[in-house]
């Protein structure tokens, strides 16, 4: 079982999630697009350590504090194999276009579609979901989907940025729709939702 707290970061309101395995206290953070003092205070209260920094994709509003956070907390940066180039390519990750000072880096652990790993006693599964970018993916654990910018509440990620692809987005949403059971969905931005709600009311997913 995992416990989750959401800390919105950046002007775009990125949902940065702090995840703790209830059995062991081991923790991870998703998509730290910038430093959150509230998050850092909570991590410090919990011992100051993280196992992982999980990146759903490589846009600046999801990655800009990832390397610093990992170094401060002794964590490994984890993302999809096709996302790694975004961490060093300022054209792809948007830092060049937005004039953001950024130091390129590489992830420590690269995942392929269907790969699993453990956070304490909780198993996480990575699914590759290209569309918003070629390197997008979601993390599944304990009935929760950390969806990044693939799936939003009654919406989905834009496909007009570098390596975005509308056909791939449709394929990725179909892949998520066909998962067994329901999931609480924590999107990259905006309100939380559920997979069942999106199956019924998402304007694209409901037609697939």
pLDDT, tens digit, 9 for 90 and up, residues 18-74: 999 999 999 999 999 999 999 999 999 999 999 999 999 999 999 999 999 999 999
Angstrom distances, CA of residue 201 to CA of 70, 173, 191: 37, 13, 14
Pairing of the two strands 2-9 and 151-152: unpaired
pLDDT, tens digit, 9 for 90 and up, residues 159-192: 999 999 999 999 999 999 999 999 999 999 999 9
Q: Compute φ and ψ for 4, nearest 5 degrees.
A: -130, 135
Residue 208, CA atoms < 13 Å, CB-side half-sphere:
19
CATH number at residue 157: 3.60.15.10
Confidence of residue 200 (pLDDT cuts 50, 70, 90): very high
| Model confidence pTM above 0.85 | yes
Q: Where are the alpha helices (DSSP H) in 77-203?
A: 90-93, 166-177, 195-201
Mean pLDDT in the chain? 97
Range of the domain at 95: 2-207
Distance CA 85, CA 169 (A): 20
Domain count, the chain: 1
């Amino acid at each position: 079982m995992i416990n989750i707290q959401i800390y919105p970061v950046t002007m775009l309101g990125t949902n940065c999630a702090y995840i703790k395995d209830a059995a062991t206290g081991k923790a991870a953070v998703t998509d730290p697009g910038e430093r959150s003092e509230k998050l850092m205070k909570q991590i410090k209260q919990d011992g100051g350590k993280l196992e992982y920094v999980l990146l759903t994709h490589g846009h600046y509003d999801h990655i800009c504090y990832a390397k610093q956070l990992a170094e401060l907390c002794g964590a490994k940066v984890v993302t999809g194999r096709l996302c790694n180039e975004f961490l060093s390519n300022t054209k792809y990750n948007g830092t060049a276009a937005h004039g953001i000072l950024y130091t390129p880096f590489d992830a420590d652990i690269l995942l392929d579609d269907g790969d699993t790993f453990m956070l304490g006693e909780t198993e996480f599964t990575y699914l590759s979901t290209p569309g918003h970018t070629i390197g997008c993916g979601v993390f599944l654990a304990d009935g929760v989907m950390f969806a990044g910018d693939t799936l939003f509440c009654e919406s989905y990620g834009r496909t007009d940025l570098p390596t975005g692809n509308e056909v791939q987005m449709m394929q990725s949403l179909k892949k998520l729709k066909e998962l067994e059971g329901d999931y609480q969905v924590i999107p990259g931005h905006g309100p939380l939702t559920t997979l069942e709600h999106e199956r019924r009311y998402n304007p694209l997913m409901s037609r697939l």
